[in-house]
Structure 1
Amino acid sequence: MARNGFFTGLDIGTSSIKVLVAEYVNGEMNVIGVSNVPSAGVKDGIIVDIETAATAIKTAIEQAEEKSGVTIDKVNVGLPANLLQIEPTQGMIPVPSESKEIKDEDVDSVVKSALTKSITPEREVISLVPEEFIVDGFQGIRDPRGMMGIRLEMRGLIYTGPSTILHNLRKTVERAGIKVENIIISPLALTRSVLNEGEREFGATVIDMGGGQTTVASMRAQELQYTNTYSEGGEYVTKDISKVLKTSSQIAEALKFNFGTANLSEASNSETVQVEVVGSEQPIEITERYLSEIISARIRHILDRVKQDLERGRLLDLPGGIVIVGGGAIMPGVVETAQDIFGTNVKLHVPNQVGIRNPMFANVISLVEYVGTMTEVDVIAQSAVSGEELLRRKPIDIAPKPQRIVTPRVEAAPSAPVQTVPVFEEERPAQTNRTAHQEPAAQREPRQKLGDRVRGIFGSMFD
């Protein structure tokens, strides 16, 4: 059951940083603001320059605030699959209360007992996902609260990552002036968001073709079975075009999106395009077919590597096939090329949110969806992982609070054996502001219609 309130997702990619603000009302997610700015200080999905990356994140946050009318004070950050490990875990506690009724505190305690599993010093627990609870031997319980019992057990999966990467991620976001609410494992959120119920149960693979890297994640039996990253993405296609044609990156990018296709059979031998090259006053003329050959070579190289690893893990024949998302998947011919290489059903996922029906936003949307649809038990488990104390016996839904009057903000100029995942100031009336995750949507001043506002976002985003 979805929680009501405001949630903000932050997707730190190699080529771009995206921020999305959404409000959940009665289980429906309404996107109210989004930003997309060029990335900096990030390589292969990993932060390599904290100050530079923090500046880019701050820019993205400010743009999202301006477009949504919401002050962002905390975000849910996506963590890439680099060096991710998945391990089964379990915990057990006696129910201490005299009534023997299981409460929030008991769920918190049994999760913490499962966290005592030995973890190497250089790694850190990112998330613990409960699979089932067992009360006095009765298995398959999703939420044991309110039940009576003497012994409470829990079985779940622990996701761990390198402490260095996690520290740098938190440090960078905090340096941008924002608090990290949750660190979300991007492949886990993406598979849950993109795949339907049947695909998650019987098995399917999601390929996220980003700018600097490609991420692959397979889910089966509602669990993340496999994930891997490849340090190649859409930017490498641009670099290939630039290198082969001896032209600038800007021209290469324009050629890729305006005339390029990854499917050779769609390219024309007769249609030509003029290209300005370095060291020559006269442009050269190339055919669409020649451009397609450059593009296709890189796309096929990436997908061939993915195919080899999926075959090795016996994941290529999953009934749900393959779903492709990401900015690199927008280019014509990618789906057809993937279908030819994998020999299975391949489809392109396009988000259905108004105004952001673009595969490049699938990742940041999945972060907000993941947090917005967390159950109360999931929230307790995540709080135990992060070490935060819960407000006991209080509902998870965000309750309306009185609005505060502030001066306008001045804008600045199945459990399996251990799985090791491979990696790669004028006087004027005071205005009312909303604060993300804090203030209700009611009682605010009338605003522009959602559809008109979101359309306005994209009128300026891609200028």
Structure 2
Amino acid sequence: MARNGFFTGLDIGTSSIKVLVAEFIKGEMNVIGVSNVESSGVKDGIIVDIEAAATAIKSAIEQAEEKAGISIERVNVGLPANHLQIEPTQGMIPVPSESKEIKDEDVDSVVRSALTKSITPEREVISLVPEEFIVDGFQGIRDPRGMMGIRLEMRGLIYTGPSTILHNLRKTVERAGIKVENIIITPLAMAKTVLNEGEREFGATVIDMGAGQTTVASMRAQELQYTNIYPEGGEYVTKDISKVLKTSMQIAEALKFNFGSADMATTSLTETVPVEVVGSEEPIEVTERYLAEIISARIRHILERIKQDLVRGRLLELPGGVILVGGGAILPGVVELAQEIFQTNVKLHVPNQVGIRNPMFANVISLVEYVGTMTEVDILSQGAVSGEELLRRKPVDMGTPSMTVTAPELNRSYDVKPSRAVESFQEPDYIPQPLPKEPAAPKEAKPKMGERMRGVFGSLFD
């Protein structure tokens, strides 16, 4: 059940840093401020320069404060799935009170007992998500508080990450003058907020196509089953265009957004755009089809790598199919190309919040939604992990404790590691050759390229 109050999300991306402030009122999320600034000091989703990143974060915070009209003191920060590991855990305690009624303190204690699981020194617990509580042998309990029992058990999942990455993340946010309220695992938040109830239960896969990397998360039976990171994203498409056409990164980026498509079947062999190239005083003419070949080659390469892992884990068989989010998914033709490769249902997720109906804001929206809809048990569990009393704040409304039957245990991989990193820029598998100028008979009339021009910033907001 959603809590009432203000919540702020911080998404530190490779190309941009986004801050979103929302107010929750009776379960309804209302966005009151959002900012989007150019990123700095971040590579492949990981902070590599604390000072540079802190400066960019501070700028994004100030813009969001101005638009929201409030002062931001704490933020909920998204953590990418780099080197994330998921392990099952369980804890058990005797109920100490004379009345044998289970209270908040008992939930806190049983979670802490589950945290005694051995963790290597270089790793740190990020979150513990309870799957079920067991009271005197009765299983499937979501919230045991108020019940009577002698023995309380809990089964859940521990999410751990490298201590270095977590330290740098906290240090950077604090250097920007802000405190970290929660560190949220981005793929977990995305899967829980982007997918609907049926997709979370029966299974679906979310693919977040960012600038520096592409993140995959599969959920089934309300649990995160698989996550992986592929160190290629929209920036690599821009680099391909720049390298093949011998033009600057700025021009390549404009070409991608204004004229680019990943579906060659819908592009023209005759429509051209002038491109300034290095070493030539006169611009060259590039056809729309030629540009689409460059773009689709890189996106196809990324999606084919993802397909291999999804097939290996039998995750393409999930009935919910694939949902695309992120700035890289905005390009025309990406959904059609993904359908061709995955051979399953593919759709583009567009947030429904007024003013930010753009897939590139899905990450920061999911962070705020995830925190705003945390249950009391979730808050107690996270408070036990972090040891911060602030995280144990009670929500305004409290539902009655419920007992449900747990889903059968599913096979899932708990050791989640990223794919092999790409050490340097990779050239496309082929070098496209200039195409003949003879016009091909179009399937249907289409507007001129100039009429279809899409501004780089025009698509960011309604």
Q: TM-score range by the shorter chain?
A: 0.7 to 0.9
Q: Match of 1:422, as an amino acid?
A: K
* Aligned residue in 2 for 1:248: 248
Residue 166 of structure 1 and its aligned partner are, at CA, apart by 0.5
Q: Superposed, which structure 2 residues align to 1:103-182 within 5 Å? A: 103-182=103-182
Unaligned runs of 5+ in 2: 398-408, 420-456
* Aligned residue in 1 for 2:295: 295
Residue 397 of structure 1 and its aligned partner are, at CA, apart by 2.8
* Aligned residue in 1 for 2:277: 277
Residue 202 of structure 1 and its aligned partner are, at CA, apart by 0.7
Q: Superposed, which structure 2 residues align to 1:180-195 within 5 Å? A: 180-195=180-195
> Residues 103 and 390 of structure 1: is their aligned pair in 2 closer, same or farther, counting only changes over 3 Å?
farther
Q: Is contact 1:5–1:397 with CA below 8 Å preserved after alignment?
A: no
What CA distance in whole angstroms lies between the structure 1 residues aligned with 2:100 and 2:40?
Answer: 54
Residue 228 of structure 1 and its aligned partner are, at CA, apart by 0.4
Q: Match of 2:50, as an amino acid?
A: I
What CA distance in whole angstroms lies between the structure 2 residues aligned with 1:232 and 1:24?
Answer: 35
Residue 199 of structure 1 and its aligned partner are, at CA, apart by 0.6
* Aligned residue in 2 for 1:419: 414
What CA distance in whole angstroms lies between the structure 2 residues aligned with 1:117 and 1:45?
Answer: 29
Q: Superposed, which structure 2 residues align to 1:428-447 within 5 Å? A: none
* Aligned residue in 1 for 2:27: 27
Q: Match of 1:6, as an amino acid?
A: F
Residue 316 of structure 1 and its aligned partner are, at CA, apart by 1.3
Q: Is contact 1:88–1:416 with CA below 8 Å preserved after alignment?
A: no
* Aligned residue in 1 for 2:444: none
Q: Superposed, which structure 2 residues align to 1:299-318 within 5 Å? A: 299-318=299-318
> Residues 325 and 417 of structure 1: is their aligned pair in 2 closer, same or farther, counting only changes over 3 Å?
closer
Cα deviation per residue 1:190-220 (whole Å; 9 max; x = unaligned)? 0111111111111100000001100000001
What CA distance in whole angstroms lies between the structure 2 residues aligned with 1:283 and 1:459?
Answer: 25
> Residues 49 and 81 of structure 1: is their aligned pair in 2 closer, same or farther, counting only changes over 3 Å?
same
What CA distance in whole angstroms lies between the structure 2 residues aligned with 1:58 and 1:10?
Answer: 11
Residue 389 of structure 1 and its aligned partner are, at CA, apart by 3.4
Residue 391 of structure 1 and its aligned partner are, at CA, apart by 9.0
Instruction: Establish whether residue 396 from structure 1 lines up as the match of residue 395 from structure 2.
Output: yes
> Taking structure 2 as the reference length, what is the TM-score of the superposition?
0.87
* Aligned residue in 2 for 1:264: 264
Query: Runs (4+) of structure 1 moved beyond 3 Å?
Result: 389-392, 414-418, 458-462
What CA distance in whole angstroms lies between the structure 2 residues aligned with 1:418 and 1:88?
Answer: 11
* Aligned residue in 1 for 2:350: 350
What CA distance in whole angstroms lies between the structure 2 residues aligned with 1:390 and 1:61?
Answer: 21
RMSD (Å) for aligned C-alpha atoms = 1.6
> Taking structure 1 as the reference length, what is the TM-score of the superposition?
0.87
Cα deviation per residue 1:391-420 (whole Å; 9 max; x = unaligned)? 98x74239xxxxxxxxxxxxxxx4767610
What CA distance in whole angstroms lies between the structure 2 residues aligned with 1:397 and 1:22?
Answer: 17
Q: Match of 2:415, as an amino acid?
A: T
Q: Is contact 1:207–1:216 with CA below 8 Å preserved after alignment?
A: yes
The percent identity for this pair of structures is: 84
Cα deviation per residue 1:130-177 (whole Å; 9 max; x = unaligned)? 011011111111111111111100000000001110011001000100
Q: Superposed, which structure 2 residues align to 1:205-216 within 5 Å? A: 205-216=205-216
Cα deviation per residue 1:257-300 (whole Å; 9 max; x = unaligned)? 11110001011001111111111110000110000000010000
> Residues 390 and 210 of structure 1: is their aligned pair in 2 closer, same or farther, counting only changes over 3 Å?
closer
What CA distance in whole angstroms lies between the structure 2 residues aligned with 1:290 and 1:391?
Answer: 53
Q: Is contact 2:358–2:460 with CA below 8 Å preserved after alignment?
A: no
Q: Is contact 1:88–1:417 with CA below 8 Å preserved after alignment?
A: no
Instruction: Establish whether residue 39 from structure 1 lines up as the match of residue 34 from structure 2.
Output: no
What CA distance in whole angstroms lies between the structure 2 residues aligned with 1:415 and 1:80?
Answer: 24
When the two structures are aligned, how many residues end up with a matched partner?
413
* Aligned residue in 2 for 1:332: 332
> Residues 329 and 32 of structure 1: is their aligned pair in 2 closer, same or farther, counting only changes over 3 Å?
same
What CA distance in whole angstroms lies between the structure 1 residues aligned with 2:391 and 2:276?
Answer: 63
Instruction: Establish whether residue 204 from structure 1 lines up as the match of residue 204 from structure 2.
Output: yes
> Residues 368 and 391 of structure 1: is their aligned pair in 2 closer, same or farther, counting only changes over 3 Å?
closer
* Aligned residue in 2 for 1:54: 54
Unaligned runs of 5+ in 1: 399-413, 425-457
What CA distance in whole angstroms lies between the structure 2 residues aligned with 1:265 and 1:158?
Answer: 46
> Residues 460 and 310 of structure 1: is their aligned pair in 2 closer, same or farther, counting only changes over 3 Å?
closer
